[in-house]
Amino acid sequence: MLTAKLSIQNKVYHLQSLITDQKEISSGYFRLIFSAPQIAQIAQPGQFVHIYCGEGTYLRRPFSIAKVKKNQVEIIYKVVGKGTELLSRKKKGNTLDVLGPLGNGFTQSLNHPITQSPILIAGGTGVASLLFLAQKLITLYTSHLTPLTVFLGAKTKNDLLCIDNFKKLGCQVKLATEDGSLGYKGLVTDLFRNSLITHNSSLITNIYACGPYAMLKEIAKITQKYKIPYQVSLEAMMACGLGACRGCVVKTSHQSLTTSHQHFVYKTVCKDGPVFEANQIIWE
Amino acid sequence: MVNLSTEIARIKLKNPLLVASGIIGFGEEYSKLINLNVFGAITTKTVTLKPRAGNPSPRIVETMEGMINSIGLENPGLEIFLKEKLPFLKRKLKIPIVVSIAAENAEEFAEISRRLDKEKGISALELNLSCPNVRSKEPRAKSPPLLSCPPPRLASGDAGAGESKNGGINSEQGVISLISQDAELTYEVVKRVKKVTKLPVIAKLTPNVTDITVIAKTAESAGADALSLVNTFSALAFPHSPLTTSHSPVFGGLSGPAIKPIVLRMIYETYQKVKIPIIGMGGINSPQDAIEFFLVGAKAIALGSALFRDPFLPQKILIGLKQYLKIQKITLSKLTGSMIHE
Ligand SMILES: Cc1cc2nc3c(=O)[nH]c(=O)nc-3n(C[C@H](O)[C@H](O)[C@H](O)COP(=O)(O)OP(=O)(O)OC[C@H]3O[C@@H](n4cnc5c(N)ncnc54)[C@H](O)[C@@H]3O)c2cc1C
Ligand SMILES: Cc1cc2nc3c(=O)[nH]c(=O)nc-3n(C[C@H](O)[C@H](O)[C@H](O)COP(=O)(O)O)c2cc1C
Ligand code: FES
């Protein structure tokens, strides 16, 4: 199978970017757009930017790239602590200290029969990287009969983001909220599992997911059962964001060539990831 | 033109700003982002004889004005270092390379040093003495303690606490202290290394002691050519990492601006007790911080975790330092310890 590792790792930029827009898209959730031609030109779905949010934080904060448009880069985030709080106070015209693009993005298979199609599953702010991925996939799959299916899950209706963005791209959007305020009442993983009963799982070429660890782990169980290739975007606390400090590791399985002995290796979420083949991950 | 050149442990430096161990690994990643040759010298990630996998996640927590790390000395081991990492550094860098090493005991320190002594392109060895000593089967406390240590349950800095989740040192092999929490052990390690290498030897000490000047003097008397002060402070914090479902705390080493006032005090005290030069580090985050380190007695300084936030901090510090020297009409060598000399 021809696969393209689309992320280009050779260049990282440190920019003082101009903020061109910031909007609260849902209560507590923001969309921030900044001008960063160097990043916009080479960014791939799944990659992230590492942002210095301001005085009072010591480390940068990683955010998935949600969209690139000409010279503009967009991120979508939730205010959860000091860094994101500081970020949310920034206004159009302010500068943003950005490092990026960083990490390895999603691998997109190019030569599937036209009856097959990937599925995207996002939990919470995990929509950000999948929105970018959906845009890319749409361009690859324009000739396909089956639309892209996107599962979005969150706590409440307020936490469900970017529904219209996915719809505009022509995706079939399936919603789940834990409180039932919109779509299926329950976890998005349950909605997805149920859909496999009616959906022929052999027609799914790939599953791409981004969201809370527990969600990703649950999907791993399902995809393993149905033998569906599955890529996940993981999160970890980060310092350098470049792979140098070894601060953001995840345990992955590793088959030793010399001893044919199964053991683990630590891979960095920031450089080897954030996107991994889920079957590499040793879920804890 | 203000002259920033200096000399530490017989190494000529074009400027007194080093990068601390463990911050840029072996330079491969950061060299894509910044010109590493702006530094006066670089210190590698600590290398051990055998590869080390390091600690499980989470390894990093941000704290007020700083961070805690518990990397667990993850490194590829001496062989890979020599085969892959050192050649890269030698190709890329025009500045001195200081190789940081750690071992479980004096014999192993000597073994690594002997091997590195044969290599071209290394300017000095930095002994990371903040690693646990695991030689003696019987508790070291049997020999009269030269120094009272805090209960050494926690590894200091990135000392490498093995696979134990909480950073507690494995006590199976009789580990009770970090090497530089024990004056006798510090002496033994430095002495052994000095015997097997002509390379300048820098002793990097843990701050997790009652009186750092005691250990500093011991390292000097064993022949250390310089001191690196200091490694990280034993600490604990609660992360809420998405990689863990539990809310267990992370034990590790605290670095960043939070520790700077303590480090300045330690350098101030040590400077008055030893003759060998001090490389100061711990919380340097601005040109102002850098100047303060010189005032209390550092002859050179090293940039640590603040580089994660600002990759251009090295240039900013060097420019600030030059301006200060120019305005104050003082030379760099005069600046060192000038607060005490006044
Ligand atoms: C590769 C990657 C991509 C990400 N993309 C997005 C995104 O597109 N949108 C979004 O809203 N968030 C994203 N995150 C999470 C985001 O980085 C954190 O929410 C942010 O760092 C929190 O900073 P804070 O100062 O507001 O919170 P803090 O006060 O630092 O912490 C508040 C909470 O956020 C968690 N947190 C802190 N740092 C991180 C971190 N580096 N990674 C994950 N969780 C963290 C803490 O465990 C804590 O529970 C991403 C994380 C990673 C690793
Ligand atoms: C992520 C990280 C890894 C580190 N690894 C090492 C190491 O391998 N060896 C060592 O001697 N010190 C290590 N240190 C300690 C630093 O070299 C330095 O002494 C300490 O961080 C204090 O400086 P700072 O406050 O400027 O960060 C590490 C520090 C950090 C933050
Ligand atoms: S954050 Fe430094 S290696 Fe990933």
Collect the ranges in chain A with pLDDT lower than 70: 1-10, 109-116, 141-145, 201, 203, 255-262
CATH number of the domain at A201, please.
3.40.50.80
Q: Using an 8 Å CB-CB cutoff, list chain A residues near B33.
A: 12, 14, 99, 242
Asked if B223 reaches chain A (Cβ–Cβ under 8 Å), the answer is no
Indicate the helix (H) or strand (E) that contains A193. Answer: helix A188-198
What's residue A262's pLDDT? Answer: 62
What's residue A118's pLDDT? Answer: 86
Residue A178 lies in a domain: yes
Residue A47's φ and ψ, nearest 5 degrees, are: -80, 165
The number of beta carbons lying within 10 Å of the beta carbon of residue B93 is 17
- For this complex, say whether ipTM is above 0.95: no
> Which of A7, A96, A245, A265 to probe the B interface (max B CBs under 10 A)?
A245
| Closest by CA position to B64, among listed A82, A86, A98, A53 | A82
B186-236, pLDDT tens digit by residue?
Answer: 999 999 999 999 999 999 999 999 999 999 999 999 999 999 999 999 999
CA of A51 to the centre of ligand 1 (A): 11
Q: How confident is the model at residue B8 (pLDDT cuts 50, 70, 90)?
A: very high
- Nearest residue (by CA) to ligand 1, atom 20, is A61
- Nearest residue (by CA) to ligand 2, atom 15, is B231
Asked if A213 reaches chain B (Cβ–Cβ under 8 Å), the answer is yes
Of chain B residues 26-65, which have a CB less than 8 A from chain A? 28-30, 32-34, 45, 53-54, 56-63, 65
Q: Are residues A38 and A134 in the same domain?
A: no
Q: Are residues A98 and A123 in the same domain?
A: no
Instruction: Quote the tokens at residue A66.
Output: 């949600």
What's residue B133's pLDDT? Answer: 62
Cβ proximity of A124 and A162 under 8 Å: no
Cβ proximity of B133 and B182 under 8 Å: yes
Instruction: Quote the tokens at residue B332.
Output: 């760099």
Distance (Å, whole) CA B96 – CA A214: 47
CATH number of the domain at A7, please.
2.40.30.10
Q: B61 vs A240: CB contact, 8 Å cut-off? A: no
Residue A281 lies in a domain: no
What's residue A276's pLDDT? Answer: 96
Residue A120 lies in a domain: yes
Q: Does the beta carbon of B72 sit less than 6 angstroms from any atom of ligand 2?
A: no
Domains in chain A: how many in total?
A: 2
Q: Are residues A152 and A53 in the same domain?
A: no
Contacts (Cβ under 8 Å, ≥6 apart) of B171: none
Q: Are residues A66 and A166 in the same domain?
A: no
CA of A94 to the centre of ligand 2 (A): 33
Distance (Å, whole) CA B130 – CA A72: 46
- Strand-pair category, B66-69 with B17-19: unpaired
Q: Are residues A8 and A64 in the same domain?
A: yes
Residue A131 lies in a domain: yes
Distance (Å, whole) CA B269 – CA B207: 12
Query: Per-residue pLDDT averaged across B33-49, rounded?
Result: 97
Cβ proximity of A245 and B23 under 8 Å: yes
Nearest-Cα distance to chain A for B73, in Å, is 9
Q: In A85-219, which ranges are E strands?
A: 95-102, 108-109, 117-123, 149-154, 172-177, 184-185, 204-210
Nearest-Cα distance to chain A for B248, in Å, is 14
Q: A99 vs B54: CB contact, 8 Å cut-off? A: no
What's residue B93's pLDDT? Answer: 96
Q: Are residues A130 and A94 in the same domain?
A: no
Asked if A42 reaches chain B (Cβ–Cβ under 8 Å), the answer is no
Q: Using an 8 Å CB-CB cutoff, list chain B residues near A52.
A: 309-310
Q: What does the longest C-alpha to C-alpha distance in chain B come to?
A: 58
Q: Using an 8 Å CB-CB cutoff, list chain A residues near B29.
A: 240, 242-244, 271
What's residue B171's pLDDT? Answer: 39
Of A219, A235, A251, which closes a domain?
A235
- Catalytically active residues of B, by annotation: 131
- Strand-pair category, A95-102 with A172-177: unpaired
Of A102, A132, A165, which closes a domain?
A102
Instruction: Quote the tokens at residue A148.
Output: 């892209």
Q: How confident is the model at residue B176 (pLDDT cuts 50, 70, 90)?
A: low
Which atom in ligand 1 lies closest to the alpha carbon of residue A82?
25
What's residue B141's pLDDT? Answer: 39
- Closest Cβ opposite residue B58 in set A14, A59, A237: A237
Q: Are residues A138 and A94 in the same domain?
A: no
Residue A90 lies in a domain: yes
Paired residues of A169 in beta bridges:
none
Q: Are residues A129 and A55 in the same domain?
A: no
Q: Does the beta carbon of B241 sit less than 6 angstroms from any atom of ligand 1?
A: yes
> Which of A16, A51, A58, A283 to probe the B interface (max B CBs under 10 A)?
A58
pLDDT of B277 strictly over 90: yes
Give the domain extent around A86.
Answer: 3-102
The number of beta carbons lying within 10 Å of the beta carbon of residue A47 is 27
- Nearest residue (by CA) to ligand 2, atom 26, is B304
Q: Using an 8 Å CB-CB cutoff, list chain A residues near B57.
A: 236-237, 248-251
pLDDT of B150 strictly over 90: no
- Identify the residue whose tokens are 């518990």: B70
- Closest Cβ opposite residue A250 in set B57, B63, B245: B57
Q: Are residues A121 and A94 in the same domain?
A: no
Lowest mean pLDDT among A68-72, A262-266, B274-278, B296-300: A262-266
Q: B53 vs A265: CB contact, 8 Å cut-off? A: yes
What's residue B162's pLDDT? Answer: 39
N-to-C CA span, chain B: 25
| Contacts A–B by Cβ distance under 8 A | 115
Q: Are residues A111 and A70 in the same domain?
A: no
Q: Are residues A46 and A138 in the same domain?
A: no
Of chain A residues 125-184, which have a CB less than 8 A from chain B? none
- Greater confidence (B240 vs B1) lies with B1
Reduced to 3 states, what is the DSSP secondary structure of residue B75?
strand
> How many helices and strands, by DSSP H and E, does chain A display?
6, 18
Alpha helices (H) in chain B, listed in sequence order: 78-80, 86-92, 106-117, 183-196, 212-221, 260-271, 287-295, 306-309, 313-328, 332-335, 338-341
Indicate the helix (H) or strand (E) that contains A255. Answer: strand A249-255
Which atom in ligand 1 lies closest to the alpha carbon of residue A273?
1
Crossing angle between the packed helical segments B260-271 and B287-295, to the nearest 10 degrees: 30
Domains of chain B and any CATH numbers:
6-341 (3.20.20.70)
Residue A247 lies in a domain: no
Q: A245 vs B69: CB contact, 8 Å cut-off? A: yes
Query: Per-residue pLDDT averaged across B53-78, rounded?
Result: 94
Residue A55's φ and ψ, nearest 5 degrees, are: -45, 130
Residue A187 lies in a domain: yes
Percent over 90 (pLDDT), chain B: 77
Asked if A99 reaches chain B (Cβ–Cβ under 8 Å), the answer is yes
Instruction: Quote the tokens at residue A273.
Output: 């990831």
- Closest Cβ opposite residue B61 in set A14, A237, A250: A237
- Identify the residue whose tokens are 């006798």: B184
Residue A17 lies in a domain: yes
Which residues in B242-280 are b (16+ Cβ under 10 Å) and which e? bbbeeeebbbbbbbbbbbbeebbebbbbbbeebebbbbb
CA of B306 to the centre of ligand 2 (A): 11
Q: Are residues A152 and A200 in the same domain?
A: yes
Q: A249 vs B57: CB contact, 8 Å cut-off? A: yes
Q: Using an 8 Å CB-CB cutoff, list chain A residues near B243.
A: 213, 234-237, 250, 284
Asked if A250 reaches chain B (Cβ–Cβ under 8 Å), the answer is yes
Distance (Å, whole) CA B206 – CA A169: 57
Which atom in ligand 3 lies closest to the alpha carbon of residue A240?
2
